[in-house]
Structure 1
Amino acid sequence: MAIEVSDSAREWIKRKGGVATVRLSPRHGCCGGGADIAVAEARPPDDPACYTGVEFEGLSLYLDPTLVGQGLRVDVAGFLGMGHLFVEGVSPTRS
């Protein structure tokens, strides 16, 4: 598989509609530095044609092509129904 999804994240995504997007999000430092961080959202991307689509155990995942094969893992954190997805692993910087 192009990315690992924990059992708890898989169930959480299914409850939210069964679709998730894993993309790079730019983060900027105060002195001009920056990095792209992998983030996961329980929604389809704005432009699915720009993503690699993966069907996995009842989920539709959309992955930024630069994240495919990067050894990332999607999990969920939170309690009392107030969860959020997060991505573990190394986030590459776009070339």
Structure 2
Amino acid sequence: MAIEVSDRAREWLHKQGGVATVRLSPRHGCCGGRADIAVAEARTPDAPKRYTRLEHDGVVLYIAPTLLDQDLTLDVEGFLGLRHLFVDGAPLSR
């Protein structure tokens, strides 16, 4: 597994507490079907034991086991107080 945390994301995460969770989130289509999208949140997961914990450049990352074999990039986008994390490099679907 290779996960890269951009400088912007690392700086932003330090201000948010230094912890991020990367997991899959299901999205359902209007006519059926489903896609699992990788999402990142600046928080500790509800069940940390279900995740792999990594320390990466001063940030604690909790990664869902299904994403461990993916090459991921964690970054931040937005402006002013409306910034949020996003994950690039994990196009998974069903």
| Contact in 1 for aligned 2:28/2:34 (Cα 8 Å) | yes
Task: List gaps (5 residues or longer) in structure 1.
Answer: none
8 A contact 1:67–1:92 mirrored in 2: no
Please give the TM-score of this superposition, normalised by the length of structure 1.
0.92
2:26 corresponding residue in structure 1: 26
Where structure 2 has 5 or more consecutive residues not aligned to the other structure, the ranges are none
Which string of whole-angstrom CA distances, capped at 9 and with x for unpartnered residues, describes residues 13-62 of structure 1?
11000000000000000111101000000000000000010011111100
**Alpha-carbon distance in 1 for matches of 2:52, 2:73:** 16
Q: Percent identity?
A: 67
Tell me if the contact between 1:3 and 1:69 (Cα under 8 Å) persists in the aligned partners.
no
Point out the structure with the larger strand share: 2
State the partner residue of 1:39.
39
After TM superposition, the runs of 4+ consecutive aligned structure 1 residues lying more than 6 A away are: none
Alignment TM-score, normalising by the size of structure 2: 0.93
How large is the RMSD of aligned CA atoms in angstroms? 1.4
Structure 1 segment 1-95 matched on structure 2, within 5 A: 2-93=2-93
What count of residue pairs does the alignment treat as equivalent? 94
